[in-house]
Chain A
Amino acid sequence: MATVVDSIAPAHSGRTRVRVTATTTGIVAGLLAVIAGSFFDVRPPDAYGLCMACHARDLVDWTVNAAAGTRLTVAPASLVFPVLTPIGVLLGALLAARTSGEFRWQHPEHPLKTFLYGVVVMNCALLAGGCSIRLLLRTAAGETLGIVGFGALAVGVVLATRWLQWRAAR
C-alpha cells in the first residue's frame, strides 16, 4: 500500500519537513477548485476547476493537435491555451519531496501493468467525465451525473478493496 511505503520512508534531518494533514489539503484544494472555476474562467464545462484526467487530456490533446495538426477533443476552457494542472502538480510535489528529503528513485516491478492501469483509468475517467477529484467536485455542485459517477466510484473502490483482501487471505 502506498501509505505503508510512505510511512517507512527514511527521515532526513536538517530538511524542511512541513506537516500538512489530508483535511487541510482537502479544504485548500476544494477552495482553489471553486475559485479557479468561478473567478478565473477555468470553464466551461461547469465544476472544471480541478481534475487530473480532464486537465491531462486537455494538455496532451492540445499539444498533439498543435504538433501534428490533429483535431483531438479539448474542453472549451483549453481551446486557446491548455490548462497546466498536471505540470503544476508534478512541480509542486517535486518541490515538496526535494525540500523534505523524501525524493527517492524507486524502480517498478511491473512497468507494463502500471502502464495499462494508466490507460484504463484515463479511458474510464473520460467516459465518466472526470477523475475521482472532479466527480466529487461535480457531486458538490449538485450535478446528477456527478453523483452517479462518484457513487459508482465508491462502489468500485469498495469491491476492489474486498477483492485485494480476499486475494491476500488466500
Chain B
Amino acid sequence: MMTALVTLVVGVTVGYLGQRSRMCFVGGIRDFILVRDRYLLRGLIAFGLTAWIAFPAAAAIGGAGVGPFGTPDLVTMVLTGCGGFGVGYISTLANGCPFRQHVLAAQGVVSSGTYLAGFFAGAVIFHLWVAPLLLRVLP
C-alpha cells in the first residue's frame, strides 16, 4: 500500500513538472540533432547525473543500495539492445517518449490517448503472447 501511495505522489509531482517543462526523454536527443536545441537534452542529462549521484548518496545515509548486478549473458544483452533501439526509434516516430505521451494525453491530445490505449494493451500482449513465444524460440 505504501508503494502505491509513494508512486502516486511521485507520479503527480513528475507529471505536473513534466507538463510545465515539456520534458521528454527522447526529445532531447531528437531536438539536438534537428535544430541543435539543448533545452530537453539538459533535462535528460540532469536526470541521469542526479540519479548517478543520488544512488550512492542514498545508500550512504541508510537507504537500500543498488547492485551488484553481475555480468549479463549475450542473449539478454542482444534482447535489451533490440528493445532499447525499438523504444528509441518508434518513440521518435510517435513524437515523444512514453512519459511525454502520458502528459500529452492528460492535456487533451487524443492521439496520445490512443497511443496510451495501445501502450496498456501492449503489456498484456507481451506477457500473453510475445514473451512465451520468445522463451520457446530463444536458446
Listed in ascending order, the chain A residues whose CB lies under 8 Å from chain B are 1-3, 6, 18-43, 46-47, 49-50, 52-53, 55-57, 60-61, 64, 72-73, 77-78, 80-97, 100, 102-112, 114-129, 131-133, 135-137, 139-145, 148-162, 164-165
Once the chains are docked, how many angstroms separate the CA of A56 from the CA of B20? Answer: 22
CB distance from A142 to the nearest CB of B (A): 6
Q: Name the B residues within 8 Å of A105 (CB-CB).
A: 108, 110
A86 to B91, CA, bound (A): 17
Q: List, in ascending order, chain A residues with CB within 8 A of B103's CB.
A: 89, 93
Residue A121 contacts which of B2, B16, B72, B119 (CB distance < 8 angstroms)? B119
Please tell me if the beta carbons of A135 and B10 are within 8 angstroms of each other in the complex.
no
Q: Is the CB of B126 within 8 A of A123?
A: yes
In the bound assembly, the distance between CA atoms of A18 and B58 in angstroms comes to: 30
User: Is the pair A129, B34 in contact by a Cβ cutoff of 8 Å?
Assistant: no
* Residues of A close to B14: CB separation below 8 A: 25, 28-29, 32, 50, 88-89, 92
B131 to chain A, nearest CB (A): 7
Q: Are A90 and B81 in contact (CB under 8 A)?
A: no
Quick check: A115 and B115 within 8 Å, CB to CB? Answer: yes
User: In the complex, what residues of A have CB within 8 A of residue B36's CB?
Assistant: none
CA distance A138 to B6 in the complex (A): 20
Q: How large is the interface on B (under 10, 10 to 19, 20 to 34, 35 or more residues)?
A: 35 or more
Kindly state the separation between the CA atoms of A103 and B12 in the bound complex, as whole angstroms. Answer: 16
The answer to whether A149 and B93 touch (CB under 8 A), given A82-B4, A103-B108, A161-B33, is no
Question: Which A residues are CB-close (under 8 A) to B124?
Answer: 60-61, 64, 72
- Within 8 Å by CB of A161, from B34, B37, B82, lies B34
Query: Can you add 12 more A-B contacts, CB < 8 Å, to A38-B65, A89-B99?
Result: A19-B20, A30-B48, A46-B67, A78-B3, A80-B1, A87-B11, A90-B15, A93-B106, A122-B126, A133-B98, A156-B92, A161-B92
In the complex, chain A residues whose CB is within 8 Å of the CB of B65:
38
Ordered by A's residue number, 22 sampled pairs between the chains whose C-beta atoms are within 8 Å are A2-B95, A20-B17, A30-B50, A30-B51, A50-B14, A60-B123, A83-B3, A88-B12, A104-B107, A109-B111, A114-B118, A119-B121, A127-B83, A132-B97, A135-B84, A136-B47, A136-B48, A142-B55, A142-B69, A149-B80, A155-B85, A161-B33
Nearest CB of chain A from residue B117's CB, rounded to whole Å = 6
- B66, A46: Cβ atoms closer than 8 Å: yes
**With A119-B119, A165-B34 known to touch, is A96 a contact of B51 (CB < 8 Å)?**
no
